Amino acid sequence: MADHSLTPENMPQHPEKATLEGKNKFLGLWFFLGGETVLFASLFGTYLALKNSTAGGPSSQELFGLELVFLMTMLLLTSSLTSVYAMYHMKNNNFKKMMLWLGITGLLGVGFLGCEIYEFYHYIHSFEFTFRSSAFGSAFYTLVGFHGGHVLFGLCWLSALMIRNAKRGLNLYNAPKFNTFSLYWHFIDVVWVFIFTVVYLMGKVG
C-alpha cells in the first residue's frame, strides 16, 4: 500500500479534498446537512404550532432562564471556533495541534451537554415539566432533545476519530474524515442559533 503520510513537501493545499473519496465525503456530508435542515425544520414547525398549548402547565415565560442558555450558547459558539482552529492546523499539517484543538472542541461540547442535562433535570424536578405534561412539553423536549442528541452523536464521532487516528498521523485518508466532522459540528451550532432564538428568546418575549 502506498504511503500517503503528509510531509511539508507533498502536502496539497486542501488535503481533505485531494482524493476522489475526500471529494465524495465532502459532497455527501453537505447532502446530509440539507436533509438535516428539513428534519429540524419540521421539529421547529411543530414547536411553533404547539408552544402555546400548555394544558395548564408552566409556560415558556415561566420556565426559561436566560443565564444558562447564554452560557450554553457561548460554549457551543466557542467550540465552533476551536474546530475552525483544528482545521487550520490540519491544512498546515500540524497533527498534534489539530488533535489538541479537536480535544478542546470535544470538552466544550461535553460542557454544553452537561448544561442541557442540568436544564432538563431542573425543569422536571422544580416545575414538574416533562415530555408528557403538555403538547408544549412534547414539542419542546423533542426539538431541544434532538439537538442534544446530535451533540452527543458528534461527541461519539469525535472521540472515535481521535482514538482511531491517534497514532496514524495526518494523511490523505483521514484528513477528509476530520473535515466532515468539523462541518457537522458547525451545523450543530447553526441549529442551536435557531433554537436559542426561536425557543428561548422568542419564548421569553412571549
Partner 1 sequence: MAENTKSNEFHKQQSKEEMKKQLITFALMIIFTILAFLIVGTEMMSKMVAIPLLLVLALIQVGFQFYYFMHLKDKGHGMAAVMIYGGVWAAFLTVMALTLVIWW
Site for partner 1 in 50-109 (CB under 8 A): 66, 70, 73-74, 77, 80-81, 84-85, 88, 91-92
Binding-site member from 35, 55, 56, 167 for partner 1 (CB under 8 A): 35
Residue 169: CB atoms within 10 A of its CB come to: 12
Binding-site member from 101, 141, 178, 187 for partner 1 (CB under 8 A): 187
Smallest CA-to-CA distance from 147 within 199, 97, 88, 183 is with: 199
Q: Evaluate whether 33 touches 183 at the Cβ level (below 8 Å).
A: yes
**What is the dihedral sign for C-alpha 193, 17, 158, 82?**
negative
Binding mask 1-30 for partner 1 (x = CB under 8 A): -------xxxx-x---x--------xx--x
**3-state percent helix, strand, coil for the chain, nearest multiple of 5:** 75, 0, 25
Q: Can you read off the three cell numbers belonging to residue 106?
A: 470535544
**What is the dihedral sign for C-alpha 186, 191, 196, 197?**
positive
Q: Which range in 106-114, 153-161, 169-177, 180-188 contacts partner 1 by CB under 8 A?
A: 180-188
**Binding region for partner 1 (CB under 8 A):** 8-11, 13, 17, 26-27, 30-31, 33-38, 40-42, 44-46, 48-49, 66, 70, 73-74, 77, 80-81, 84-85, 88, 91-92, 183, 186-187, 189-190, 193-194, 196-198, 201-202, 204-206
